[in-house]
Structure formats: C-alpha cells, structure tokens
Structure 1
Amino acid sequence: MRFAVDTGGTFTDLVIEDAEGHLNIYKSPTTPSDPVQGILDAFAVAAEERGVLREDLLASGSMLFHGTTRGLNAVLTGNVARTALVATEGHPDMLLLREGGRTDIFNQRRAYPEPYVPRSLTFEVAERVDAQGAVVTRLTEDSVRALADQLRAAGAEAVAVCLLWSIVNPEHELLVGRILHEELPDVPVTLSHQLNPALREYRRASSAAIDASLKPLMTTYIAGCRARLAEAGFDGRLLMMTSSGGALDAAAVAEAPIHSLNSGPSMAPVAGRFFSSQDAESDMAIVADTGGTSYDVSVVRDGRIPWTRESWIGQPFIGNMTGFPSVDVRSVGAGGGSLAYVDAGGMLHVGPESASAVPGPACYGRGGDRPTMTDACLVLGYLDPDYFLGGRSRLDLDAATTAIEVHVAEPLGISVHEAAAAIWELATEHMVGAIEEITSHQGIDASRAVLVGGGGAAGFNTVAIGRRLSCPEVIVPLMGPALSASGALISELARGFEVNGKTSSDAFDHAKVEAVVEDLTARCREFIDDAGDDTLASSVEFAMEARYPSQVWTLQVPVDVEDTRTEDGVARLVEAFHAAHRETFAVADDNSPIEIESWHARASCRLSDPETPDLPPGDGKARTRQVFLAGSGWATAAVWRLDDVPINEPQPGPALVETATTAILVDDGATFMRRPTGTLHVVPGLPPERSPKNGEN
C-alpha cells in the first residue's frame, strides 16, 4: 500500500493506493501551525472510513510521498535561518542588483526590493578565478578561517557561498566549504556550484542563499515528520515531492531543501499529463489545479512537462528568483477560499487574500465571517450543504448568506444571489486570465487544448473556463479533487544534473562534450544505483542549453547524446534548436550556427505502473435542484452522483455532478459523460460571444 499527501493552504489531501492499484481520496483541514498533525488527521479520516485503526493503516504502507509548502511559506514570511552570503571580493551585490525588470514601470514610489541576504551579512573573500578556470588570485586557508570568525560573530545560522566562475573551477568554493565545516560544524553551508551550476551569478547566488536559509527549518521539519509518522505506525519509505516534478528521498531534500519549494503545484501537470493521455483526444493539455488559496496553471505539450529557471517566490522582479530548474506553473490568488470584498470605491475584489484553513470560509462554521468563493457557490446552489466531504461536514448556508449580504450585496446594492454570482464570475475571470497569460506567452492556442480540472474547488467553474477559452473538451478525472497528491503516486524518483560545457556548432569540441557526457552519465548511474529495490525501471534523458550567437537567453532542448559524437549528429542538434526556437518564438534563423552553454541530464526511476480503474455502469438516476446561473438567473439542474452517470452516454447541462470531494457545475449548452475510468468528460460548447444568434445556422 502506498500513500501520497499534499499539504495545501486549506485542506490536506491524502491518496491511498491499495495492493490492487485502486485509489481513494481523503481530505482533512490543514493545521497551519502543525502540518504533520493535519497529515495524521487525514489518516484518521481514512482509517475511520476503511474501518481500521489509524496505526494499522499506517503500518500497512510501504511508501509515503509528501508534498509541502512548508519551505515556500517560510521564505514568503521571512521565517528562515539567519543566513550569510560569501562572495568574491569586489562582488558583494549579486543579490542586490539582481536581474532587470519591472512590473509597474510608471510607479515611482515603489521601493527597491531588499536583497534576500542583507549587505550586513554579506562577506567577501580575496580570491578570483577567470572564465577559463585559471586561478588569478588564490584563496588562502587563513583568510577562510578569519571569515569563519566573522560569521560566528555575526550569528550566522546558515551560509551560502557563491564565488565567480566556480562552475568552471570549484576549487575555492570547496575550500570554503571544507574549512567552514571544520570551524562551524553546526552551521549548514550551501556551495553554489554543487547546488545550481548555472552561468548567471544572480540566479546561482539566489538559489544558494534560499537553500541555505531553509536547511535548519526543513531538516527539523523532515526529521519531526518522520519521527511522528513512525510513532503513529508508519515505518516505510518517506519521499518528498520536488519542484522538478519528481520525488527524492526525504534525506536528500533535507540536504538541498530548495527542491521542495513548489513541490505541491509541480505534481498537478504530472497527473494532468497522465489523465489527458487516457481520457482526452488532444495532445495538448492545460492543467488547472484549484485549491483553497490559489489557482495553479501549467501546459503540457506533446507529452512534455514545461520547465523554467525563472520561478519567482513572490511577485516577479520584486520577490526572489529561485534560479533553479522547476516545472513551469503559474499561480493566481483565486481559489475556493479566496475572500471577496468591496473596496472604498465600490469595486468588487476576489482574492488574493484567502480564508485558509483557519478560520476558513464562513460556511465552514469555524469562526470565519467573510465571504469566499466557496460561500458564493453554496448560496448559488452548486454545493449540497449536507454532502460536503461525503457528509462528514455540514455547511452553514445561513452563515454564507449573511457574509455575502453584509460584505458584498449591501455595499453594491444588489441581491445576495446576484452578489454571489458576481463573486463567481470575477473569480472565473481571474482564472481565465491566468490561463491566457501562460498560453499566449508560449504561442499556444487554447482552442486546441483539453482543459484538465483538478483540486477540490475545480468543479465550480472549470467548464465555464473551458467554454470561455473555446476548449473543445474539458475533463475532471476521478482523482482530480486531489490532483497533486495523485500526481505524486504517478511520479518517478528523479533528479537533474547540469555541467557547464560551452562549445559551438561550427567549432564543436567533441572531446570536451564527451567528457561532460561521461560525467553526467556517471552521476545519473550513481543516482539510479542508489534508488533502492522499489525501482521498476530507469531512464536517463539529456538536454542542451543553447542560443544563437550574441543572444542573451538560452533555450533548453532535448538531445540524443549520440548526436554529440559525429558531425551529422551535430547538424541534428542544430536543427533541433531551430525547431525549438521556432516553436517558442515563432521564428528561427535556419542558417545560423548555435552556441551551447551547458548540458543537462535527468535520471528517472519508475516506482509504479499507473492503472486506471474500471468502474461499473451507473444506474442513470438523477435528482434536480434549483441553481442560480450567472447571466441567466434561476434554473432547474439535474443533480448526479458521479457513480450514477451512465458510461459514454452524453447528458445535457445544466447539471451538477457530485462526489464526496467536489461538485462539478456543467453549464447550460454543455454535454457530459462518464468515461469507464471515472473521468467526467465535458464538451463545453461555444462561448457566449461565439454562440449563434437566434435564427442563425
């Protein structure tokens, strides 16, 4: 039996895979002050429903995948270790100068962002290595021991080291790491060339600083999580989800906690890719994960999950860039728990502030008195107050109505139901905007993509979003309400490696590249050999990071390493880059050579063979309920339990399809059916502005 846990801002999702490969979802409110307690509470819910003791359930597990926002929240709130940065003499401002860019170019009152590590905790060492790796100024041991004294006096709790050109010659960074380990054995140190051997100093310094700052916190959290799970009965393998869409053993994440920053959101495209391949016809999928706090969007094309080095913690250019390869997921503050309010100018807002797990939406009855999108959907009739979480929790309709009336309806001078519909519409627009941003920036036509809806709040407006984007099909998988957690069970044990190996296609250095490939292959083989007996199969994928001459930015392009060994192969590398450049920017210079900056390898170990369930046919019985639809008012909607929807038989909207963990609104004009796998497949129809007028064909 295997478990996957995703600790979200509002709910902790638990997915259990039994010995026959069957999956079940369980949800429990997150405990922000003690996330591990939220995990244990989710297991208690699962144990009760299964009719077993919690300790017996935990003892039956061989593996537990854990995704957490613990590190991300710590960085956002500043609750990290007191971290020092060690830089080359004369270059202490890498984090201060950062990279250019402004989101609000005409706002002259915005303060310049503070560096992640203040100048008061930035220390310089007399050393210099040039771009070819030659030592220009040699670093001495005495100077590093003097540095250790300064760090001790400054009260540094963690240290990041980023020296110029350490990615070419790491000798000096290794010396700093060795002596600091001797002098300050209890202070964790991150060396930039080991963590993130990227060319750009800001990104390398930023990733090293963030990683070092998280080590004390995440080491304590992971050790505590492991101990409490063991105390509760679990003695299996604890794996942590990573930002790159894979999993690593908990001990490896404790050593490099930056891997865990966006571990939860990165799993949604992994699951979305799998489910869209099973139940949709398009080779392009827009994966949207709607949680209680955020709406996370990613795009999967041709079965490939997108990657980026430009992941920001906080607002772009104002926050801090991780500089670390991660799954490209964009988020907006629009979820089931997003708070709605009217400002002093009479403008309605939904999000980004969230009611979170405590106190939660007003309808949860936990002390919240401000309206959220969940409250709006309850008032509109989209939720059954007696069937929330399968009936384990009853929603308070009166509290939701009062919250919307006081905070939205009265300030706007409209009825409660019109106010609730306005909240729903505005949240939907935020979500559409998030998708349009990520698709238009990549030259993607959303009308060719399937929209995969995930997250507990996905059902409220996923069909409406698909209609607005002209998507030909929308799917909500059976495991969609816990999309990230189910993605964890589908994911692989994986780690990426990078080596700087600059060369060009018109003067290709075969010897240098061969040495780089051998180095990467050896690292991948070592990772695979250490993966353990759970591995069913393994693979290694290679990529190059390249550009046209004189370009500033690079593109990462998958490659066959055999192509690095012959002239004909090099020509294929060039063609692959032209194709990737054309796909990304709609233009390519087919007659230009390319420059290759670095080489990448990703080792993956498959831990399971995902299976889709084969469910029995539904009985075809539906109830009805009055619902308030934005733009058209009250309507009678068919209300189905998902298990009762007939397989492969189209049904008309308006309708609601309910499960214990979500409720899916199917708009008027849309049709839906249940696939044998349990996935709800919807044809959303044309958006209102494209619908034929009366009398038109």
Structure 2
Amino acid sequence: MLQFAVDTGGTFTDLIVREADGCARMFKAPTTPADPIAGVLDVLGVAAGEYGLTRADFLGRGVRLVHATTHALNAVVTGTTARTALIVTAGHPDILTLREGGRDQPFNFAIPYPEPYIPRNLTFEMPGRILADGSILTDLDEAAARAVIAEVARAEVEAVAVCLLWSIANPVHERRVGALLAECLPGLPVTLSHAINPAIREFRRASSAAVDASLKPMMAVYMRHLESRLKEAGFHGRTLVVTSQGGVIDAADAAAAPIHILNSGPSMAPVAGRYFAALDEGVDDVIVADTGGTTYDVSLVQRGEIPATRNTWIGPPYRGVMIGFPWVDVKSVGAGGGSIAWIDEGGLLRVGPRSAGAVPGPVAYGRGGTEPTVTDASLALGHLDPGTFLGGAMRLDRDAARAALAQRIAAPLGCSVEEAADAVLTVATENMVQAILDITVNQGVDPRNAVLIGGGGAAGLNSVRIARRLGCRSLLVPQVGPVLSAAGAVMSDLRADFRAAFFTRSTAFDAAGADAVLAELTDKAKAFIAGPGAGSIEAQIRYAVEARYATQVWEIEVPLRDSLLAGPEALAAFVADFHARHRALFSFEDPTSAIEIIGWSAEARCRLNRDNHIRIGAAGAEPGQGTGQGEGPATRRAYFGGAGWVETPVHAFDRLEPDREIPGPAIVESRLTTIVVEPGAIFQGRPSGSLSVRFGEQP
C-alpha cells in the first residue's frame, strides 16, 4: 500500500512515494503552469515507470495522496480570482479601503493609495446593527435585505463575502443574510466572516472573508477536477490537501474554505526540517530553507515550535492583501535555481527576482531560454553533471549555458566566464542570506546557534556558502531534501482549527463564559475527530488563547494546559504561562498588569502514520555516481572561487558511510540533487541517510 505526496512548485512538481515500511522514493517532473493537475499526473507517471507498472496499476495501490499547491496563492497574486461582492453593515462600506492605517513608507507621498481587494462598486450596505456586547441596536430589515441581495444579483458576481459589525459577538444577522443569499441566489458561493475567521479586528475579518469567497469558484473546480482526474487515472484512495497551518485536510473541505490552503506548499518544509534536525543533529533551533526553481522559502523553528503568524500579507506589507488568518510563518524571496542573472543600468550584477520558471527554463534546458540562471552558472562551474540531471531524464547543454553567461554577464563585467558564474552564485547566496537575516538577526535570534536545513532540488548549489556566511553550527541536507515539502506533507497530521472570540480579563475573569466557549470549541473538535479523523491512529485536542497586557494593542498566542480555566489554580497557571511566553518573545514581562483574553482556539490533530520515519531504502535506492564499495570516488573538474579549477571527488549521496568525516572540496550527488562542498568544509553521512556539513577555515 502506497502513500503519495505531491508538491507543485513553480518549476518542478515533486513527488515522494512512501511504502508501508517507511521506504520511500523521490521523483520530479516539470510543472505545467497552464494545467497544474497535468504536472501531478506526469510525475505520477514517471514514478509508475520506475516501479515497472502502468500508471493505473501504480495508482491503484495508493491509499492516500497529499497535494500541496500554490494555485490559490497564484490567483490572488495575479488578480484572477472570482468577481466577488462584499456585504457590510450600513454606514461602513470602507472597511477594506481604510485597512489598518499602516504605511510601509510613511513619508513617501508619491505612492498611490492601494485599491481595496473588493472595489467599492461591488460593496453593498446591509441595514441592521449589532453592538459590541452582542445586543441588537437595529433589527435586520428583511425587506431591505432582499432589496440589497437583488442589487448583488444585478452585479453578476460569482461569490459573496459577508462581514457585519460585531458578528463575532452575535452572528444572528450574518447568519440570516447567509440564509437569504442561499434562498435568493442558490448555488452562489458565500463566506460569512464570523464562521471563517472570528477575529476581533474588523479589517482582518472582512479581508479573510473576501479572499475566501473570491477563491471558492476556482478552487471548487480545481479540487473537483483533481479528484476526478486522479480517479480516471486509477487512484481510488483519499485525496488530502496541505493547509497553510502545517496540516492536511480533505480536498472537499479545502474547496469549501480555500483560505486554509493559500500557503499550501511552503508550510510543509518546516515540518520535515524540524524532524530531521532533531533526528540527525539533536537540536531544536532550526533554520529551514527550501530552494526551488523560482523561490527561496525560509522559516525559523525555535525550541521545536513551528512558528505561525497572523500578520500575513500577500504582496508588500500594508499595500498587499491582508489574509488575517494564521499560517506557518515562511518568508519567500525571488531566488532559486531558475533565478535570472542580469546587469542593471548601473553596471551591477543582479540575480532574480525574475525566474526562468518551468517554461522556458534555464538556458541549459534547451527549451528556448536565453537568459542565464543560477543553474546555468553551476553547470558552467562544473558543479552539475550535464548527463545525470534528474537521474539522466534531462540532459543539460553546458556550452549553451557558458555562451549565455559569456554574452550577458562576463562581457559586460569584463571577466572570465568562470568568474562571472561564481559571481552569480555569490550574489544569489547574499540574497538568500538576507532573507534568513530578516527572520533571525532582525528578530533577535543568533543563526550561529541553529542548524541550517537545505531543502529543495537546488539547495545543494550554494547551501554550504549560505551556512558558512551565517556561521551556522552545521548544514544538514536530508536524503529527502530535494522534495522536502513533499516529505513534510507525507509526515503531516490531519488537522482542523476552531476559533471563537470572547473578551475577559484576568482581574475580573468570567469563568462561566470562558468554559462555555471552550466547551463549544471542544464539541467542534470532537466532531471533527469522529468525522474526517475517524480511523486515525491517534487524536488529540490542543487549546490556546490570544491574550495581551491591558495596555497593549497586539496579542500573543498562549497554549492552555487544559480545556477548562475554572478555579483560581487554573487561572494562576495561565497567568504564569502568559508572563513566561511574553518574556520569551520580548525579553520582559509586567506582572502588575491585567491580562486581556480576546480569542480562543481548539486544534484537533489526528495522526495518520504510526511513525514519521522516511528512508530511501532498497526499493528506492538512488543510483550513485561513485564506483563500487571500497574504491575511491569518481572525480571531475570543478571551479571554486579562490581555488580555481580543482579535480574534485564526486561521491554518491546514498553510499556515504555514516559518521565518516570527509574534507572538501567535494561534490555529493543523487538522482535529484547535487551538494557542492567547498574547500574548508567537512561532511559526513548520518545513519538516517542525511548529509551533515561542518565548517573549518576557508583556505
């Protein structure tokens, strides 16, 4: 019985196939941007061929397929979401326009004010008013409400978001508007703000509802086609989709609330990175980097905790689209194997953010690309073997890569092709280092205390440079590193988060109200465990609150020890936990201040695997480049800055002897990745199959 995890990236679609005993195999195929599902079927076909089966027979052995996709995110970024209406309380049509008042460049008055996610001409005002305490100031006039819905119908929208004032305190009006929409406009997708994101901040709640509604028509079609085309191809197992919160949900649930899967792909790399850092290096402070063809995604795991954030913007802060919804905190920059190198008007070398992507791809792919990329630079330096790329499935054109670098980079800079290619890697490395500094040093975290996880097919090209530049204690490249996000997906639990808003203070604590909220959340979590989570190996519910000091504007999330806060001991334990959490995050606490709780959550988590161990075993052994056991490795000429051309040992990733230290320079290869170990570094295999690199002085 097989499990599949597929991650659709900007350049390649990654697949990991896990067998019942934990043995796994990895595969890649080019992404098909015009039809991402075709790319999923393509990579499954490649895997079927390796197993010696037809695709139908191969898929027929599958019990579960987990899919990570940026399809929803790409739609928001490119503005190709559905035509959506927003219904708000009368007198408050500017919620999305006014935002939260922040500005990225407060003294630059030449920057135009950003347009709202849903324009004013598609924003409709609904009579009726709820107050902050949940009482009704003005009843909902149903005749007037029907008239508003008639206006919505005339606007010919494809979806509707509803965000009424204080619906989190009393959702009666919002629910009635939803019922009227279902009655008057049957079949039209509708999102109610109190249901999708019961947050106390009006803009964030409205934005969440707007984004979710705008994605429903497209993602419903995508998920329906994904399941139907997989079924036609021979798959009859369960189809799950990766969420932005680091879990998985059923495809039907993803279609019903697509905001959950906006950051689908990148959220999985920290899951796998945390696991391998603990297994191989025994540490819980980890920088996880996932290098794809288009982007470089980085995240920080501290004390074993995968970070989550609600300050999520698609695009520039304050100017982009605010999600207002928690997701795994991942920073993405336009840097990867397909990032294009170019000379700017001032004569300076730049790398990215433009990418050659899957089409046409780097020059060396021979698919029409003319601008040199990071991959072309690595090929020109001898770091990549043109005949074994993707296990030999794609032959690279080294001469074309060198010619493009000579024409577009070396000639303008007045240097050799080798110097130009090395400079491209140096600039790309610095771009990636700056992304990591943003989430470490700029937040008071010393990267020298962390292990860098190198994930993604292009990670090995310069991860040693990155780790050395940061001063990390080590670099770890898991054997499943080329498909790190897909590996995280196959490890992930079925998960659902349930949230509610309820205000109370530690100094005047409403124990009855708090316990009522927690009881309601518990019922929802248990229903999820009994429904989608039925048959899971293990299930648990975790509780947390969003709280702040009384003088603060923003809150932090604090886990609860139990599902009840009744009694002075439980409340005292929470207060102590809040102070400790605040001190850990901000280096101070205020024991004399009252604590305000504004949000409550219950996370239902269902384990799907007995263990998360993944190994590349005999059934999925990687064909190495070295010679037989006991013989020395093969060699090839490779260029290293400061050392020039060096006859460099080439080791097979899957044949490294565990814990045997080998000095660089060296190249370590598998079918799907190449790790360049520069002079002065020392590497060794781990029993799990991972590669660990430590650093000496640069010679």
TM-score normalized by structure 2?
0.96
Task: State the shift of 1:613 in Å.
Answer: 3.0
- 1:61-210 matches, within 5 Å, as 61-210=62-211
Corresponding position: 1:236 with 2:247: no
1:460-481 CA distance string (max 9 Å, x none): 1112111111111110001110
1:528-571 CA distance string (max 9 Å, x none): 00125441100111111000112000001111125612212212
Is the CA contact 2:90–2:128 (under 8 Å) kept in the aligned structure 1?
A: yes
Is the CA contact 1:620–1:644 (under 8 Å) kept in the aligned structure 2?
A: no
Is the CA contact 1:619–1:646 (under 8 Å) kept in the aligned structure 2?
A: no
Unmatched segments (≥5 aa) in structure 1: 692-697
- 1:253-332 matches, within 5 Å, as 253-332=254-333
Closer, same or farther in 2 for the Cα pair 1:652/1:167, shift >3 Å?
same
1:23-74 CA distance string (max 9 Å, x none): 1110000000011110111011111111111111111101100011111111
Q: Give, in whole Å, the separation in 2 of the partners of 1:620 and 1:681.
A: 22
Unmatched segments (≥5 aa) in structure 2: 619-627
* Aligned amino acid, residue 46 of structure 2: V
* Aligned amino acid, residue 675 of structure 1: R
The aligned residue for residue 670 of structure 2 is 659
Corresponding position: 1:55 with 2:66: no
The aligned residue for residue 498 of structure 1 is 499
Could you tell me which of 602, 609, 612 is aligned with 1:610? 612
Corresponding position: 1:349 with 2:345: no
The aligned residue for residue 218 of structure 1 is 219
The aligned residue for residue 440 of structure 2 is 439
The aligned residue for residue 694 of structure 1 is none
Q: Give, in whole Å, the separation in 2 of the partners of 1:483 and 1:300.
A: 15
Is the CA contact 2:24–2:616 (under 8 Å) kept in the aligned structure 1?
A: no
Aligned-partner SS, 1:108: coil
Q: Give, in whole Å, the separation in 2 of the partners of 1:538 and 1:497.
A: 15
The aligned residue for residue 621 of structure 1 is 632
Task: State the shift of 1:281 in Å.
Answer: 2.4
* Aligned amino acid, residue 411 of structure 2: E
The aligned residue for residue 695 of structure 1 is none
Q: Number of aligned pairs?
A: 688
Q: Give, in whole Å, the separation in 2 of the partners of 1:632 and 1:113.
A: 50
Closer, same or farther in 2 for the Cα pair 1:201/1:685, shift >3 Å?
farther
Task: State the shift of 1:590 in Å.
Answer: 2.7
Task: State the shift of 1:139 in Å.
Answer: 1.0
Identity of aligned residues (%): 53
Aligned-partner SS, 1:648: coil
Closer, same or farther in 2 for the Cα pair 1:555/1:441, shift >3 Å?
farther
Task: State the shift of 1:614 in Å.
Answer: 8.0
Closer, same or farther in 2 for the Cα pair 1:420/1:121, shift >3 Å?
same
The aligned residue for residue 378 of structure 1 is 379
Is the CA contact 2:286–2:452 (under 8 Å) kept in the aligned structure 1?
A: yes
Task: State the shift of 1:678 in Å.
Answer: 0.7
- 1:665-684 matches, within 5 Å, as 665-684=676-695
Task: State the shift of 1:669 in Å.
Answer: 1.1
Q: Give, in whole Å, the separation in 2 of the partners of 1:530 and 1:605.
A: 11
The aligned residue for residue 625 of structure 2 is none
Q: Give, in whole Å, the separation in 1 of the partners of 2:193 and 2:87.
A: 10
Is the CA contact 1:470–1:685 (under 8 Å) kept in the aligned structure 2?
A: no
Q: Give, in whole Å, the separation in 2 of the partners of 1:21 and 1:646.
A: 21
Corresponding position: 1:647 with 2:658: yes
Is the CA contact 2:528–2:604 (under 8 Å) kept in the aligned structure 1?
A: yes
Q: Give, in whole Å, the separation in 2 of the partners of 1:108 and 1:346.
A: 30
Is the CA contact 1:578–1:590 (under 8 Å) kept in the aligned structure 2?
A: yes
* Aligned amino acid, residue 366 of structure 2: G
Q: Give, in whole Å, the separation in 1 of the partners of 2:461 and 2:100.
A: 39
Closer, same or farther in 2 for the Cα pair 1:199/1:380, shift >3 Å?
same
Is the CA contact 1:642–1:659 (under 8 Å) kept in the aligned structure 2?
A: yes
* Aligned amino acid, residue 673 of structure 1: Q
Is the CA contact 1:58–1:234 (under 8 Å) kept in the aligned structure 2?
A: yes
The aligned residue for residue 621 of structure 2 is none
Q: Give, in whole Å, the separation in 2 of the partners of 1:176 and 1:188.
A: 13
Is the CA contact 2:274–2:284 (under 8 Å) kept in the aligned structure 1?
A: no
Aligned-partner SS, 1:174: helix
- 1:528-547 matches, within 5 Å, as 528-547=529-548
Aligned-partner SS, 1:601: strand
Task: State the shift of 1:409 in Å.
Answer: 1.4
Q: Give, in whole Å, the separation in 1 of the partners of 2:593 and 2:204.
A: 28
The aligned residue for residue 525 of structure 1 is 526
The aligned residue for residue 649 of structure 2 is 638
Task: State the shift of 1:621 in Å.
Answer: 3.1
Q: Give, in whole Å, the separation in 2 of the partners of 1:164 and 1:533.
A: 37
* Aligned amino acid, residue 291 of structure 2: T
Task: State the shift of 1:615 in Å.
Answer: 5.9
Aligned-partner SS, 1:561: coil
- 1:423-572 matches, within 5 Å, as 423-561=424-562, 564-572=565-573
Closer, same or farther in 2 for the Cα pair 1:200/1:631, shift >3 Å?
farther
* Aligned amino acid, residue 597 of structure 1: I
1:251-310 CA distance string (max 9 Å, x none): 001100111110000001011111111111222111111111111111112221111011
Task: State the shift of 1:441 in Å.
Answer: 3.9
Q: Give, in whole Å, the separation in 1 of the partners of 2:52 and 2:256.
A: 38
Task: State the shift of 1:618 in Å.
Answer: 6.3
Task: State the shift of 1:661 in Å.
Answer: 0.5
Q: Give, in whole Å, the separation in 2 of the partners of 1:561 and 1:610.
A: 27
Aligned-partner SS, 1:199: coil
The aligned residue for residue 623 of structure 2 is none
What RMSD, in angstroms, separates the aligned Cα atoms of the two structures? 1.5
Q: Give, in whole Å, the separation in 2 of the partners of 1:340 and 1:201.
A: 43
1:413-472 CA distance string (max 9 Å, x none): 221111111110111011111111011243211111111110001111112111111111
Task: State the shift of 1:103 in Å.
Answer: 2.9
Q: Give, in whole Å, the separation in 2 of the partners of 1:257 and 1:45.
A: 29
Q: Give, in whole Å, the separation in 2 of the partners of 1:579 and 1:128.
A: 40
Q: Give, in whole Å, the separation in 2 of the partners of 1:69 and 1:282.
A: 30
Q: Give, in whole Å, the separation in 2 of the partners of 1:240 and 1:160.
A: 23
Task: State the shift of 1:99 in Å.
Answer: 2.0
Task: State the shift of 1:633 in Å.
Answer: 2.8
Is the CA contact 2:518–2:564 (under 8 Å) kept in the aligned structure 1?
A: no
Q: Give, in whole Å, the separation in 1 of the partners of 2:531 and 2:436.
A: 39
Task: State the shift of 1:620 in Å.
Answer: 6.2
Q: Give, in whole Å, the separation in 2 of the partners of 1:329 and 1:680.
A: 24
Task: State the shift of 1:592 in Å.
Answer: 2.2
Q: Give, in whole Å, the separation in 2 of the partners of 1:299 and 1:251.
A: 31
The aligned residue for residue 251 of structure 1 is 252
Is the CA contact 2:504–2:596 (under 8 Å) kept in the aligned structure 1?
A: yes
Mean alpha-carbon deviation: is it higher for 98-107 or for 54-63? 98-107
1:160-186 CA distance string (max 9 Å, x none): 001111011000110110000111112
Q: Give, in whole Å, the separation in 2 of the partners of 1:644 and 1:630.
A: 28
Corresponding position: 1:15 with 2:16: yes
Task: State the shift of 1:486 in Å.
Answer: 0.6
Aligned-partner SS, 2:62: coil
Q: Give, in whole Å, the separation in 2 of the partners of 1:578 and 1:100.
A: 29
Closer, same or farther in 2 for the Cα pair 1:386/1:569, shift >3 Å?
same
1:194-229 CA distance string (max 9 Å, x none): 000011111111111010000000000110111111
